[in-house]
Amino acid sequence: MMKGPLMGSLNIAATREVIVAYGQSSSAWAASTINTWLGVIVGIIFLVVAGNVMRDKQKDESDKVKAIALLGVGSVIVAGVVMMFVNNKFGGAAGRIGETVN
């Protein structure tokens, strides 16, 4: 239940974060931005390497499919692990709105 005249009582711990765009804390915004660019970079690298694999004339089609599948799985795993570390580095605030004061 909300208390107080405006939005309720302030959580002092939550006010230690700087509030930036769309009501996110600065650490949540940083983690979100880093993860977005990381996803774009990993996607571009995947497309470039997959294109090189597809142009390889010495490989069979099944070998190309296997190589691209392994590349895709590896890309997702690497990006996921890095995103997890980014979220932990910034206090795990990304994706949580409980600690954000609007």
pLDDT tens profile 65-99: 999 999 999 999 999 888 888 877 775 544 454 45
Asked if residue 17 has pLDDT above 80, the reply is no
- d(Cα 53, Cα 48) in Å, to the nearest integer? 9
Asked if residue 60 has pLDDT above 70, the reply is yes
Per residue in 25-41, pLDDT (tens digit) is: 677 777 788 888 999 99
Q: Measuring CA to CA, which residue among 34, 44, 24, 35 is closest to residue 99?
A: 24
Asked if residue 102 has pLDDT above 50, the reply is no
> What per-residue confidence (pLDDT) applies to 72?
93
> What per-residue confidence (pLDDT) applies to 43?
92
